[in-house]
Structure 1
Amino acid sequence: MADIEFIPFTRRPATEPFSHDGRTFSAAQLNIIGDALAAGVFYQDALRDHCRDAWIADCPAVDHRITRDDGDGIELLPENFQQGRARLSEVEAELKTLPRGSWAFFGRPYVSEDGRQWRGLEMSISVGDGSIYRVQTSRFNASTAPMPDFAVAHADMVSMDIYLARQAEEERTKRDLSRHLIQQHGLRAGMQLRDVELGGERFSSATVTEVRPTGYLKLVLTKRGSKRRWEYAGLAQSIRSRELTHAPVTRDLLFAAAA
């Protein structure tokens, strides 16, 4: 395989919304994440802490509980399971139509045969885009645990927002790099590639069968001495060959600061 050469590439800030795994993030939200990654903030907890204030400023939330207070801020669910699930579904459907930060809090007390008491909690908060976030309440179920409130629900939602936005920004930047590679190398349907490496596996050749504007392409791959054919559908940045001599793509390459 030919010597590795870095393809000049600098992350371009987002200029429009980007959707990934069912969530759509604005350009401003993507750039909050991308700028932090470019600054070398790598670990997720550090990224969350670094981006939290900017995220909250860009995504304000109301503190509006829509469930009644039967004590401790909790609406007690009916003892009948089906009725309880129906009430949860009703409220969550309403939450999806309400402003970001609207929340609901349900509970049901339990007593075991040996007299041990605990509480089951259900807490949901509106993301503000027609979806809801269900707070992980297991850490609060013990009878001695502190009672969660809006601050807990909001902090958990923001943390999840930042995690999902990171996935979206990394995917957006990978697609941008892949489009860059396709353009630089003139990749097109019918083009032959030699000495291909894909996911650590080597192939003797590949034929490009489709190229998409998103940076995705399709290949049919062969190995010397085998009649079998392999197919690949994915981003161009994952492929190396004699013709594609870019270095393996790392986060440092994707999010390198502009010189």
Structure 2
Amino acid sequence: MAVKYKEIADQLERDIQDGKFDQTKKLPTEDELINKFEVSRNTIRKAINQLVNRGHIYQVQGSGMFLREKSETDTINLGSLRGLTKDLTSKNIETKILDLHVLEADEEKAKQLRSEVGTKLYYIKRLRIVDQEPFSIEISYFNKDIVPYLNEEIASSSIYSYLIDDLKLSIGFADKVINCEKIDEASAGLLLVNPLDPALIIENTVCLTNGTIFELSQSIFHYQKAKILNRINFK
């Protein structure tokens, strides 16, 4: 089941993205949020910390919780686990499914997922298209014991909305590794770049709140279009 403070953080994130607080440029007070969601102060504070870590708000002691200025350009937020549909909200995003099937984890994948050899995995390869231009190639492996069902309809939309809203998975954290490599010929053809052009690559290992790894993924971005945002909070 999803953790309550994360549900509240997700709702407030949607409200921020929908412009609900654009006029005041700040969130309601802690007390107002406690009354609205009928939860404890500790739960609200955890939800607020989520919004701080996602780069949506900052706190000024004695004054309130203020919205951070939105980026002038669309960027990929390293602190987000919700994917392109949450990062590029002003863009038209399409998804082309290149492959989707179930396979068994070999020794390498089993080691990466901390699972048994032979564990059933969903393999998904998608081309993400932003404003009618190829933007990234996403290759993902999902542990079928945790994500028991995926199909093309789900994979064509936001997989993470399905995982969180429908499966109610409590997603905790991710390790992200960023590197640049020369793109191979097949990937270059999909992204409409030249073979051996540079490619920005982000590799993700994503865990539930209990530390269980449920996804390994690699995103290969068009080097001229992808911009990375990492908002850091000093405490």
TM-score (norm 1): 0.25
Kindly indicate which of the two structures has a greater share of residues assigned to strand: 2
Kindly indicate which of the two structures has a greater share of residues assigned to helix: 1
TM-score (norm 2): 0.27
The structure having more radius of gyration, on CA atoms, is 1
